[in-house]
A and B are shown apart, each in its own frame.
Chain A
């Protein structure tokens, strides 16, 4: 019974490249959340998705960032033309529903932009 799986664990990108972060939710979970943790800060909500739908993207930067959760396969957080300020830990969480349930977190992807 695997937990939330994120890959890669560590990702190094040069400025201007694209970063793709993957998140496979727990079995039976159809709700996925992405959070970003900047150095010395707490986790900040980015986006909430259900299968094939973006429910809440109020925390996503307006440019260069996008997320999807297709019918088949993992959820993808995509960052185009990365800049140094994108360096952070990106965490994915999943839950079976949006109501009174807890979310389970993955181990995160640490993105370093050089």
Chain B
């Protein structure tokens, strides 16, 4: 399985600011996914990021709020824009050559004050 790192591991941010989360993999992968895990809740898919194409967003998530980049096969970023306390969550990236086999990063714990 791939080794996946995320930066930052945690952050505390002020309302109205933006945070960019990085996801780095130690090998080339076709698909990268971004999930949100609100406190005490399950994982919800935000979007799928494939290299060379626009990210595909799930219902309830929009590009203006969660812009995603996928410049190559080992790296992706998720930006949480114009943050509010409701954005306080753990953000996880996962990777895989197919969506049916995903390996997860350690997550980024975001607190918005």
State whether these chains interact.
Answer: no
Interface residues of A (CB under 8 A from B): none
